[in-house]
Amino acid sequence: MHLPPSPHNVANLDQAFSALTLSAQTAHRCNTCSQPLSSQNALDHHKITHLPKTVNCLACPRKFRRYADVLIHLEAGTCSSGTNLRSLNRLAAMCYQWKKYVAKEFRQQLLERDVAYRVWGEGPFKCPRCGEEFPLLSSLAMHVWSPTPQCGQGMNGGAMGKLKRWLGKKLFPFRAGWRTA
């Protein structure tokens, strides 16, 4: 049953909609900066911007908020060590745990520093726990360290923890000079 057209009915709808909109905007508001966000997921990811930069680059003196940010920095080739996407992928494929996070059909390409796979849109990296594929090592790290983890893999244990330590050992010689300076 529909109500007959009336200015009173429209006004009530407008009021209800305004209250609902205001409620939705304040439901996902950052406690640090008061910025309203569209969803809980957006809020969780926004909170990362407020984290202190405490994670050292594996190869230079720069600091980052998360380990995934370090990997993005290395993949982009902006590290003073000269590490880039190709060399990082190669190191990941060299780690003895590679079978847990690299798809077998991509390993040789990664070892040869070939990045043609990026054109095909396929991901050589995979989550050891849920098997989801990723085009970049940093994408895998974001999945594993998500503020709202989907599969519970975690970054410090298992194959991912071993990869993290392997990369640190292989890239540390570049950083060693910075620590004594």
Distance CA 81, CA 112 (A): 20
pLDDT score at 122: 72
Q: Please give the share of the chain, as a percent, with pLDDT higher than 70.
A: 76
pTM confidence score = 0.75
Residue 149 has pLDDT above 70, yes or no: no
CA distance 140 to 88: 13
Tell me, letter by letter, the H, E, C secondary structure of 115-137. CCHHHHCCCCEECCCCCCEECCH
In the three-class reduction of DSSP (H, G, I as helix; E, B as strand; rest coil), residue 91 is classed as helix
Give the whole-angstrom CA distance, residue 146 versus residue 165.
19
* pLDDT for res 104: 93
Segment 156-177 shows an average pLDDT of 84
pLDDT of 86 above 90: yes
For the chain, the domains span 8-49, 52-180
* pLDDT band (50, 70, 90) for residue 80: very high
Structure confidence at residue 175 (pLDDT) = 61
pLDDT level of residue 13 (50, 70, 90 thresholds): low
HSE toward the beta carbon, residue 81, CA cutoff 13 A: 25
**DSSP per-residue codes, 146-159:** -SS-SS---SSSHH
- What's the pLDDT score for residue 97? 94
Instruction: Name the percent of the chain lying above pLDDT 90.
Output: 46
The answer to whether residues 62 and 153 touch, using CB atoms and an 8 Å cutoff, is: no
131: left (phi over 0), alpha (psi -120 to 50) or beta: left
